Amino acid sequence: MKKYIPYLISGLLMLFIYGSLGAQELPDDEYFESEEVSDDTGFGLGLGVKLSTFGPGVEIIAAFTPKIQLRLGGTYFNYTYNHTDENVDVNGSADAKLGSVSLLMNYHLARVFFLSGGLLYNMNEIGLNGYFTQSMTIGSMEVEPEKIGTLDFLVKPGSSITPYAGIGVGRSLSKNGVVSFAVEAGAVFHGKPQVELNASGMLEPTGSEEQRQLLEDNLSGFNIYPMLNFQLSFRLL
């Protein structure tokens, strides 16, 4: 991970330098926008499509002034991986669900830079399931896989309603154009993750309340979820 940090810093510096040059050389709101429309009131309504760390989604954007935009959106993505191999002792599956319903507000500090904040209904979940496929020898006794049991592990946000704060470049809704583009980075503060742990058979002691609490304590430092959002929007009104 550390080897990518210099490239990330360089990319952000170039992005902000380019934005600053654009703000100096271009007339108001031409940057990140397309053909002009005859609406100078600042009010507008549009639809956006986005790809973020919460998955792909859509947004309805309403602009009340040239500086303030309200965004109501949703995202969803689900991925399931099943691992089955007769040559190994343990198989299982992993399930990752990303999703949110968001109500956010943008405040433009300049032509192309904005602050964003609001609330998200956080639906992120990560689940793991494991089970033995072959018998295990314990002393002189051979235990069948069914008696060994299974283990289920699920991690969810500490709070479903989570605050968000971020900064972006571009416009979620064009002021004087039809099409606009925005890139946004921020953080969702979801609190201490919650853990659900269930086990059966001989593995049942592994799913005890003490083990569950220990896992929660070990994950307590992961109370912030990063947000990176790329959005393409179309002004309708």
Q: What are 16-51's pLDDT values in tens digits?
A: 334 443 433 334 444 444 434 444 556 899 999 999
pLDDT at residue number 127:
95
Task: Tell me the pLDDT tens digit for each residue of 106-135.
Answer: 999 988 899 999 999 999 999 999 988 888
Domain ranges across the chain? 2-34+44-235
On the question of pLDDT at 6 being above 80, the answer is no
Who wins on pLDDT, 196 or 22? 196
| pTM given for the model | 0.73
Question: In the chain, where do the E strands start and end?
Answer: 44-52, 55-63, 68-83, 90-108, 113-122, 125-132, 136-138, 141-143, 150-156, 161-170, 179-189, 194-199, 224-235
Task: Tell me the pLDDT tens digit for each residue of 168-182.
Answer: 999 998 888 899 999
Residue with tokens 């904005």: 114
Q: What pLDDT band is residue 84 in, cutting at 50, 70 and 90?
A: confident
Q: What pLDDT band is residue 144 in, cutting at 50, 70 and 90?
A: confident
On the question of pLDDT at 205 being above 80, the answer is yes
Residue pair 166/124 in contact (Cβ under 8 Å)? The answer is no
Q: How far apart are the first and last CA of the chain?
A: 44
If you average pLDDT over residues 79-88, what whole number do you get? 82
Q: What's the fold here for domain 2-34+44-235?
A: Porin (2.40.160)
How far apart CA 112 and CA 20 sit, in angstroms, is 9
Interacting residues of 161 by C-beta distance below 8 A, sequence separation 6+:
119, 120, 121, 122
Mean pLDDT of the chain: 83
